[in-house]
Structure formats: structure tokens, C-alpha cells
């Protein structure tokens, strides 16, 4: 039984090798550390060190999933560790590639031989999910840039005492009027330059959104279930699917909402209880998009609205909205787990969402639609 801890970089990997006979009380004994370049020759040399009874631990980075796919069939098990669970590596006083690889190898060996879960593995998403996540990341980048551009335009207008609100800048119908302000001035030049950039980004953002919709075609069943809830659009349903991969990964709704960063951590000591931040090991895409549509969810349920208003009387609004989002995600978990529509489904509204989405896919005859996942 062999163990390899890998410190992965974009151009090379540093591997620490140990076997089950390496003495635990003398860490330096039985340890071999080697660095391989990430090219054809380096990978070939790395493959020759692998056996069918080898366990591998590598930290999750942007390149990890593609790297692991290259050799996971050559070893017994590959564990991808979440960065937040490896504080003993990242917070070490002396950090070098060899030291980090050695610590990963020792953690791996202790976990396998003891049977104790020291590092929980990160799920490797299918390629279709990885593509969706990448598209969403680029889409959110465009959205952030758009907000910055609008804020800068608003700031310029306020400096010169023009009374346009942010809502009017967001509204495309007001932009022609804004463009006509103070011709032949630096203000006119800046505003038109920023608006040109904003409109290009908005157009590109729409192209990205269309690509997301096209790429999500294999997940039609999940989208159909999720959109049965009022306030959940096709786009949000795709974001939930991209985040969770498959609902069967979660043992209950608490684990589900925690992974989607909607369940705060609770710490208690003696009689004191403190509420801490959300789970940093999870994903926040779906929670971020869902927050923007919570008002629609509230309007769909009188019971939920009464609960929300009652809590707002004595709790901070931000905490209450987090609680609301957690309740919505808990319902989403049950819907997906049972494969059932939402109990408050508006059949007409739901069907309108799905008809629009199916018509969009039908129009993309010239674009390849991904095959359905088995």
C-alpha cells in the first residue's frame, strides 16, 4: 500500500511518496520526494511511479480536476481535499513544495490506515457540470463589471449635479437622454465611453446566458422540477443544478443548505451559543442568484410572508433573508429528493417557463445540444 501527497502547480507537481511500513515516529524515514514537470515527459515519468494499490491526496485548485482525470484509473483512490480543510498545510510556518507534499502524504496515510475521516473528499463534477460552472463564472464577472460601470456613471452625474437615479441608469430607455448631457465636455466623453462599454458587456452577457441555457439541455428533468416553485426561473434552476451536481450526494436538507452557504455554523461552549458564518467549503452561485428572487417566493406564500414579517420585527433583515433562503433551499432539496413538483405550483406559470425554454432549444438547430446524461 503506497501513499502520495501532491503539491500541484500550473507547470509542475511535487510528489511525496510513503508506504505503510514508513515509521510514524520518524517522519523523515521512508519518504521520497520528487518533482515532475507537467509535460509529456514529466507525466510519463509520474505514471511509472503509480500502482494499483496507491492512494493519492491532492489539494483542490483550478487545475486539479483536469489533472486527476489523467491518472485516476491507474491508482486505487484519489482524494481531492478542500483548501479550507488543510489549514495545517496553508498555515504552516515554513511553506515549501516539498514540505506541503509531505504533510499531505502524512494526512493521507493517517486517514487510510486509521479509517478516520480527516479530510472529506471534494466531488469531481462531470464535464457537463464543469462547463456550466465555467460559463456561470464568466457570466457573474460580466455582471460585476456592469455594476461597476453603472456606479461610475452615477458618480460622474452626481459630481455635476445631474439628478439621475441608479434606476434610471439601469433603465435602457433613459440612456439616450444621459448620452446627450453636456456635449463637447470631458463628462460627455466619459459617460458615452462608459455606456458603450456597458452595452457591449450587456450584449455579451446575454450571449453567455443563452449558452448556459443551451448547455443545460441534458438536465431538463431537474429544471422541470425546480421551476415548479414560484420565483425559480430556468436560469436559477440551472445554477442550482450546476452547484449540487446530484441531490443524492446530500444525506439531508441541513447538509444541502450548508453546502449552498445558507446554513450558519453554530458554536457553543458551556451556556454560551454563538452564530458564525456560513460554510466556506460549499458553493454560493445558486444562493446568490436565488436571493435576487426571494420577493417572488414571498409573494407566492401567505404563510411564508407572515413568518418573514414576524421575524423582521426583532431580527436583522439580513439574517431573516438568510433564513428565508435556507427554507427555500430546504424545499428545493425535498422536491429533488422525491422527484416531485412544488406543493404551491402554479401550473400555468410553470408550463410557460418550460415552453419558453423548449422553444429556445428548438431554435438552436445550428448549435450542438449536449447529449442527455445517462
Residue 52 lies in a domain: yes
Q: Which three cell numbers stand for residue 60?
A: 483542490
Check whether residue 174 and residue 230 sit in a common domain.
no
List CB contacts of 135: < 8 A, sequence separation 6 or more: 208, 211, 212, 215
Check whether residue 316 and residue 185 sit in a common domain.
no
Q: What local confidence, expressed as pLDDT, does residue 262 receive?
A: 84
Check whether residue 206 and residue 228 sit in a common domain.
no
**214, 131 in Cβ contact below 8 A?**
no
Per the structure, the count of domains in the chain is 3
Check whether residue 238 and residue 196 sit in a common domain.
no
Residue 119 lies in a domain: no
Residue 148 lies in a domain: yes
Kindly list the averaged pLDDT for each block of 10 residues, start to end, along the chain of length 374: 91 90 61 92 94 91 89 92 68 72 90 84 87 93 92 90 79 84 90 93 93 94 94 94 93 91 70 65 85 84 87 87 90 94 91 94 68 45
Check whether residue 175 and residue 49 sit in a common domain.
no
Check whether residue 152 and residue 84 sit in a common domain.
no
pTM of the model: 0.83
Check whether residue 279 and residue 195 sit in a common domain.
no
Q: What local confidence, expressed as pLDDT, does residue 71 receive?
A: 92
Burial category of 360 from C-beta neighbours within 10 Å (exposed 0-12, middle 13-18, buried 19 and up):
middle
Check whether residue 311 and residue 354 sit in a common domain.
yes
Q: Which three cell numbers stand for residue 9?
A: 502547480
Residue 340 lies in a domain: yes
Alpha carbons 83 and 93: distance in angstroms, whole number: 17
Check whether residue 189 and residue 326 sit in a common domain.
no
Check whether residue 223 and residue 353 sit in a common domain.
yes
Residue 154 lies in a domain: yes
Residue 321 lies in a domain: yes
Alpha carbons 271 and 158: distance in angstroms, whole number: 51
Neighbouring C-alpha atoms within 13 Å toward the C-beta of 67:
27
Residue 292 lies in a domain: yes
Say what the alpha-carbon torsion angle 214, 218, 220, 226 is, to the nearest 10 degrees.
Answer: -90
- Final residue before a domain boundary, out of 191, 214, 237: 214
- Final residue before a domain boundary, out of 171, 198, 214: 214
Burial category of 10 from C-beta neighbours within 10 Å (exposed 0-12, middle 13-18, buried 19 and up):
exposed
Check whether residue 131 and residue 89 sit in a common domain.
no
- Final residue before a domain boundary, out of 67, 88, 114: 114
| Domain ranges, residue 322 | 218-363
Residue 122 lies in a domain: no
Residue 101: give its domain's CATH number: 3.30.420
Check whether residue 205 and residue 242 sit in a common domain.
no
Q: Which three cell numbers stand for residue 6?
A: 501532491
Amino acid at each position: 500500500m503506497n501513499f502520495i501527497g501532491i503539491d500541484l502547480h500550473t507547470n509542475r507537481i511535487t510528489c511525496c511518496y510513503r508506504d505503510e511500513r514508513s515509521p510514524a515516529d520518524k517522519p523523515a524515514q521512508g519518504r521520497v520526494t520528487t518533482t515532475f514537470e507537467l509535460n509529456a515527459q514529466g507525466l510519463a515519468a509520474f505514471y511509472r511511479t503509480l500502482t494499483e494499490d496507491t492512494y493519492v491526496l491532492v489539494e483542490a485548485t483550478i487545475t486539479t480536476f483536469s489533472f486527476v482525470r489523467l491518472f485516476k484509473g491507474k491508482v486505487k483512490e484519489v482524494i481531492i481535499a478542500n483548501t479550507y480543510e488543510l489549514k495545517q498545510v496553508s498555515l504552516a510556518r515554513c511553506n515549501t513544495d516539498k514540505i506541503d507534499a509531505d504533510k499531505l502524504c502524512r494526512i493521507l496515510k493517517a486517514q487510510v490506515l486509521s479509517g478516520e475521516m480527516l479530510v472529506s473528499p471534494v466531488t469531481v463534477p462531470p464535464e457537463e457540470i464543469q462547463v456550466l460552472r465555467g460559463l456561470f463564472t464568466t457570466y457573474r464577472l460580466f455582471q460585476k463589471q456592469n455594476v461597476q460601470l453603472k456606479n461610475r456613471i452615477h458618480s460622474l452625474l452626481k459630481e455635476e449635479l445631474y439628478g439621475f437615479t441608479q434606476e434610471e441608469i439601469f433603465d435602457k430607455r433613459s440612456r439616450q437622454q444621459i448620452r446627450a448631457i453636456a456635449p463637447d465636455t470631458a463628462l460627455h466623453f466619459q459617460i458615452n465611453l462608459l455606456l458603450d462599454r456597458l452595452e457591449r458587456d450587456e450584449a455579451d452577457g446575454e450571449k453567455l446566458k443563452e449558452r448556459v441555457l443551451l448547455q443545460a439541455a441534458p438536465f431538463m428533468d431537474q429544471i422541470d422540477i425546480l421551476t415548479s416553485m414560484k420565483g425559480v426561473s430556468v436560469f436559477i434552476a440551472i445554477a442550482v443544478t450546476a452547484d449540487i451536481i446530484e441531490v443524492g450526494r446530500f444525506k439531508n436538507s441541513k447538509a444541502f443548505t450548508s453546502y449552498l452557504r445558507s446554513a450558519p455554523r453554530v458554536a457553543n461552549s458551556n451556556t454560551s451559543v454563538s452564530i458564525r458564518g456560513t460554510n466556506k467549503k460549499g458553493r454560493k452561485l445558486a444562493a446568490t442568484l436565488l436571493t435576487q428572487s426571494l420577493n417572488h417566493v414571498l409573494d407566492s406564500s401567505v404563510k411564508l410572508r407572515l413568518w418573514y414579517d414576524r421575524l423582521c420585527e426583532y431580527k436583522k433583515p439580513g439574517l431573516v433573508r438568510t433564513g428565508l433562503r435556507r427554507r427555500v433551499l430546504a424545499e428545493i432539496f425535498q422536491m429533488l429528493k422525491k422527484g416531485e413538483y412544488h406543493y404551491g405550483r402554479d401550473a400555468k406559470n410553470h408550463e410557460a417557463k418550460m415552453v419558453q425554454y423548449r422553444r429556445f432549444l428548438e431554435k438552436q438547430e445550428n448549435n450542438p445540444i449536449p447529449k442527455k446524461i445517462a
